[in-house]
């Protein structure tokens, strides 16, 4: 019997798996919150109880690595608080490499680990054999060894977290199923259950494989897909010790861990099986408590063959049990955290892609902070639910893309690799035209976007490698065209909003760090900050009229930036935000000849005097009214031309015809990246994030501190501006032009690590690899500190001499700065 439920709670956590229990524990322990947890079955009865329990820590994001490291630290000591063991064993983890691409990947991972303060070793096959005598190492090139990884008991951890939550005042109820929500606009005021209604202020949806269905009750999209995941538990195998390292063998798509003298072995097949489908009615059953699917040895045979080849003793060992249960996966392989954009008071923690045990402790910590403070405590963009869009409401598309992501779980992570499923989905009016120009497309939030253009005689297709890829040469030609002549970019996928109303100017002045309420016709580059002074959004704001503003931001930031602005419009203000992305195609005309081309297709005056930088005008092109923004992200003069969507093709044709004498050519997104690196423009999500303030990023000039007006983050900015900065963003080039920089390479100053690159690429004008990264020093980083050091970069575990630059390598007038 369920004891009487309270009539009200400040926070209701839904789901009693490891994520829900961790969130309730941290809400109660760290914030003394009035919190209850509702579990429809028993604690752990969904996916948690049958998880394999491997705990790895290293991810490509420094923040997510920090989350996973927190999990390990929590699991080590939680039993001291609760008296319940977690089953934590720090056995370390071996990752095996059998080919050169994988070995290069591991060398880069070892560098990333060092950048993030972790100790990953690269070891020989002989060393692997000594650590794991039962393993056949004859095909190995080597392995990576992370000694602080390990394994734990999912059920034990969860029960320990649950006890800790109760100890700190949380109330946990089993056998209570959520049936709906009472809504007031976009807010939940109460949770309906099969045992009655509970009023609340905040809901945290940690429903695991049910999270999508729970979210749908409040019109919240949680794009995840349950996938059948199998592993076996063997009988005892002679020669295995309790401290045997866990093993990931990605080239064979399998993993191992020791358990009670035997092995747990599973894998990630390229032909995964969905559980429920993306079709209407394909829902997870309400009652699925401690249940599994039937054993499927036919499907699992591909893993058995690979496992026996790696550990021959498996051929003689008996199988004690096969576990075939559902795990929730997402379309990009990253989990889902944060405040739902559709509902003001629902937070989500779900879709952990078989990393739930590794992530559980840290995810509960950051989610609890997020719930209580209203902001993420660090840069969690890669897992933020607001990285998704309306596209992700299409369950069939989510299922298809998620299965591809699952199949890539252990494949080599080639730089710049694109997903192939569910494409093309969203195309601009120029899609067919650009295909005729031999465009090679990438996909961003469903939009097909030209990455580069293949010359005649070359197949228009990415060929991935760990070194320079097949587009390196053609990209250089696009880069030079923009630097020396003129290029035309299709950037129709840009997210575009309008903020309107009598109080629009005052509202945006409060939200934006720069002064945006200038006279109509002015365009402003600005950041939007959190209360810590971290950069949440990076965008341009054009004032069209006294009561109307036009905002342009990145494709991937569409949901996030819209929701952030909408949530921070002052209560009662006459101001609203409208998404107008699909109303306008966007053509960026950039290069020294841009003005010569534009003046051929319009009657408007576009001289520098009549149309200076930082202005917005309406001009006519090919019979269409075009919103022209004088701005650049490539370091050359140019315009963003925002065209009525139906007229995009005609305007493109007119510009191409007018530009032919000037050598115009269509250019792609990878050229934008190389061009902006030379100019020193920052990229949100890599160079500037919620972890970084504008002064550290060299963007203090875009903060209106001297105006004396209030804006979100002002207090933090004032504090940062008044004391030594603990880190500063700097530009680096390597003296060896063949080095491939991608980001996360370690920065050494006088031989000591001081940071890592946030982005990297190649500058074709300067002829050198370019990277940006923060140099850190607790005592402060000033110009003297930066200029006095001798620098190196660690790239794929090798040292390369590097030069630091405190100014852009390329100025707007085209004058090259010697590297």
- In the prediction, which pLDDT does 4 show? 84
Q: What is the mean pLDDT of residues 106-126?
A: 94
Compute the mean pLDDT over every residue in the chain, rounded to the nearest whole number: 95
**What is the pLDDT at residue 815?**
38
* pLDDT at 325 > cutoff 70: yes
pLDDT tens track for 475-531: 999 999 999 999 999 999 999 999 999 999 999 999 999 999 999 999 999 999 999
Phi, psi of 169 (to 5 degrees): 105, -5
CB–CB of 175/40 below 8 Å? yes
Which regions of the chain carry the CATH code 3.50.50.60? 8-86+152-225+332-387
Crossing angle of the two packed helices 356-373 and 154-167, in degrees rounded to 10: 30
Whether 438 contacts 460, CB under 8 Å: yes
3-state secondary structure of 380: coil
Contact 433, 652 (CB under 8 A): yes
How does residue 278 score in pLDDT terms, banded at 50, 70 and 90? Answer: low
233-265 pLDDT per residue, tens: 999 999 899 999 999 999 999 999 999 899 999
674 touches 758 (CB < 8 A): no
pLDDT at 754 over 90: yes
Confidence class of residue 355 from pLDDT cuts 50, 70 and 90? confident
The pLDDT value given to residue 812 = 56
Give the phi and the psi of residue 652 in degrees, each rounded to 5. Answer: -60, -45
Q: What CATH code would you report for 584-662?
A: 3.30.1360.120
**Non-local CB neighbours of 768 within 8 Å, separated by 6+ positions:** 733, 734, 737, 762, 819
Q: Hey, is 353 helix, strand or coil?
A: coil
Residue 708 confidence class, pLDDT cut points 50, 70, 90: confident
State the pTM of this model: 0.96
Six-digit token string for 763: 């500058």
The beta-carbon contacts of 286-292 under 8 Å, at least 24 apart in sequence, are 286/40, 286/177, 286/210, 287/41, 288/46, 288/209, 288/326, 289/41, 289/42, 289/45, 289/46, 290/41, 290/42, 290/45, 290/49, 291/325, 292/50, 292/323, 292/324, 292/325
Alpha-carbon distance of 149 to 145, in angstroms, equals 9
Residues 247, 256 contacting (CB under 8 angstroms): yes
Question: Is the four-CA dihedral 213, 565, 545, 699 of positive or negative sign?
Answer: negative
Lowest mean pLDDT among 328-332, 336-340, 721-725: 721-725
Name, in order, each residue with C-beta under 8 angstroms of 701's C-beta and a sequence gap of 6 or more. Answer: none
pLDDT(646) > 90: yes
10 prior amide bond cis, ω within 30: no
pLDDT band at 814 (very low <50, low <70, confident <90, very high): very low
CA distance 102 to 172: 45
Per CATH, the homologous superfamily of domain 93-148+227-275+303-325 is: D-Amino Acid Oxidase, subunit A, domain 2 (3.30.9.10)
Query: 342 with 306: CB under 8 angstroms?
Result: no
Start-end ranges of CATH 3.30.1360.120 in the chain? 584-662
d(CA 137, CA 312): 11
**Is the confidence at residue 134, as pLDDT, over 70?**
yes
- pLDDT (0 to 100) of residue 818: 35
The strand pair at 8-14 and 196-205 is best described as parallel
Give the Å distances, CA to CA, from 312 to 307, 317, 384.
Answer: 8, 10, 43
Contact of 180 with 214, CB cutoff 8 Å: no
pLDDT value, residue 813 = 56
Percent of the chain with pLDDT over 90: 92
pLDDT at 1 over 60: no
In tens, the pLDDT along 12-42 reads 999 999 999 999 999 999 999 999 999 999 9
What DSSP designation does 814 have?
S
Q: How many CB atoms lie within 10 A of CB 66?
A: 18
Instruction: Report residue 584's pLDDT band, with 50, 70 and 90 as the boundaries.
Output: very high
CATH classification number, 493-579+693-721, choose in 3.30.300.30, 3.30.70.1400, 3.40.50.300, 2.40.30.60: 3.30.70.1400
Residue 3 is predicted with a pLDDT of 66
Q: Domain 8-86+152-225+332-387: which topology?
A: FAD/NAD(P)-binding domain (3.50.50)
Domain with CATH 3.30.9.10 in the chain: 93-148+227-275+303-325
Q: What value does the mean pLDDT take over residues 64-74? A: 94
State the pLDDT at residue 612: 96
Location of each CATH 3.30.70.1400 domain in the chain: 493-579+693-721
Question: What mean pLDDT is predicted for residues 621-627?
Answer: 98
Radius of gyration from C-alpha coordinates of the chain: 27
* Strand extents, DSSP E, 235-291: 246-249, 254-259, 262-267
Averaged pLDDT for residues 176-199: 97
pLDDT band at 348 (very low <50, low <70, confident <90, very high): very high
Q: How far apart are CA 297 and CA 212, in angstroms?
A: 30
| Secondary structure element (H or E) that encloses residue 496, with its range | strand 495-500
Query: Cα angle at 770 between 767 and 776, to 5 degrees?
Result: 155
């Amino acid at each position: 019997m369920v004891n009487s439920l309270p009539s009200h709670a400040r926070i209701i956590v839904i789901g009693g798996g490891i994520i829900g229990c961790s969130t309730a524990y941290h809400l109660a322990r760290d914030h003394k919150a009035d919190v209850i947890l509702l579990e429809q079955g028993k604690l752990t009865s969904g996916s948690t109880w049958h998880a394999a329990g491997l705990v790895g820590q290293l991810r490509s994001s420094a923040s997510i690595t920090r989350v996973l490291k927190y999990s390990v630290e929590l699991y080590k000591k939680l039993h001291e608080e609760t008296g319940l063991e977690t089953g934590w064993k720090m056995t370390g983890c071996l990752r095996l490499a059998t080919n050169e691409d994988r070995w290069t990947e591991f060398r880069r991972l070892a560098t990333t680990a060092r950048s993030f303060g972790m100790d990953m070793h690269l070891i020989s096959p002989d060393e692997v054999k000594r650590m794991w005598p039962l393993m056949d190492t004859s095909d190995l090139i080597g392995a990576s060894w992370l000694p602080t990884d390990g394994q734990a008991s999912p059920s034990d951890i969860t029960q320990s977290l649950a006890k800790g939550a109760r100890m700190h005042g949380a109330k946990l109820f089993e056998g209570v199923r959520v049936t709906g929500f009472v809504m007031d606009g976009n807010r939940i005021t109460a949770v309906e259950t099969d045992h009655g209604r509970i009023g609340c202020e905040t809901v945290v949806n940690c429903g695991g494989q049910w999270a999508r269905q729970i979210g749908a009750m409040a019109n919240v999209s949680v794009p995840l897909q349950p996938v059948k995941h199998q592993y076996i538990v063997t009988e005892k195998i002679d020669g295995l010790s309790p401290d045997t390292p866990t093993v990931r063998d990605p080239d064979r798509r399998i993993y191992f861990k020791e358990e009670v003298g035997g092995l747990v072995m599973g894998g990630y097949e390229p032909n995964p099986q969905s559980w429920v489908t993306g079709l209407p009615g394909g829902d997870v059953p309400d009652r699925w408590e401690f249940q599994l699917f039937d054993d499927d040895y036919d499907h699992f045979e591909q893993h058995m063959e690979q496992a026996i080849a790696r550990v021959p003793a498996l051929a003689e060992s008996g199988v004690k049990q096969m576990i075939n249960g559902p795990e929730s996966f997402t379309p990009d392989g990253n989990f889902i955290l944060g405040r739902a954009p559709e509902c003001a008071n629902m937070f989500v923690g779900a879709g952990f892609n078989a990393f739930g045990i590794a992530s559980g402790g840290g995810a509960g910590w950051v989610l609890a902070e997020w719930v209580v403070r209203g902001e993420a405590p660090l840069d969690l963009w890669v897992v933020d639910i607001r990285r998704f869009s309306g596209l992700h409401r299409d369950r069939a598309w989510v299922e298809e893309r998620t299965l591809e992501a699952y199949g890539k779980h252990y494949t080599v992570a080639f730089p710049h690799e694109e997903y192939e499923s569910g494409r093309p989905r969203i195309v601009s009016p120029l899609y067919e035209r650009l295909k005729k120009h031999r465009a090679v497309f990438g996909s961003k939030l469903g939009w097909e976007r030209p990455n580069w253009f293949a010359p005649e005689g070359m197949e228009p297709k990415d060929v991935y490698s760990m070194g320079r890829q097949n587009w390196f040469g053609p990209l250089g030609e696009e880069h030079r065209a923009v630097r020396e002549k003129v290029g035309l970019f299709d950037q129709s996928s840009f997210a575009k909003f309008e903020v309107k109303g009598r109080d629009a100017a005052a509202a945006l002045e409060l939200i934006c760090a720069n002064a945006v309420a200038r006279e109509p016709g002015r365009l402003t580059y600005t950041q939007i900050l959190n209360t810590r002074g971290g950069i949440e959004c990076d965008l341009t704001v054009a004032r069209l009229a006294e009561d109307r503003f036009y905002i342009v931001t990145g494709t991937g930031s569409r949901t996030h930036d819209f929701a952030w602005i909408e949530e921070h419009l002052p209560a009662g203000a006459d101001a609203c935000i409208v998404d107008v992305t699909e109303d306008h195609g966007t053509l960026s005309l950039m290069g020294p000849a841009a003005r010569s081309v534009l003046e051929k297709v319009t009657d408007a005056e576009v001289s520098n005097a009549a149309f200076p930088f930082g202005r917005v005008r309406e001009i006519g092109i090919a019979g269409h009214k075009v919103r022209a923004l004088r701005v650049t992200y490539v370091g050359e003069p140019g315009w963003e031309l925002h065209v009525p969507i139906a007229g995009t093709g005609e305007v493109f044709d007119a510009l191409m015809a007018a530009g032919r004498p000037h050598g115009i050519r269509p250019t792609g997104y990878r050229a934008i990246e190389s061009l902006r690196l030379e100019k020193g423009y920052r990229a949100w999500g890599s160079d500037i994030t919620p972890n970084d303030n504008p002064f550290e990023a060299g963007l203090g000039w875009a903060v209106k501190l001297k105006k004396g007006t209030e804006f979100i983050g002002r207090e933090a900015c004032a504090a940062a501006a008044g004391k030594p900065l603990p880190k500063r963003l700097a530009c680096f080039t390597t003296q060896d032009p063949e080095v491939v920089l991608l980001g996360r390479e370690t920065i050494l100053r006088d031989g000591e690590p001081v940071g890592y690159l946030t982005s990297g690429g190649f500058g074709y004008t300067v002829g050198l690899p370019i990277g940006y990264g923060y140099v850190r020093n607790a005592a402060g980083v000033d110009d003297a500190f930066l200029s006095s050091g001798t620098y190196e970069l660690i790239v794929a575990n090798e040292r390369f001499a590097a030069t630091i630059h405190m100014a852009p390598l390329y100025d707007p007038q085209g004058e090259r700065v010697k590297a």
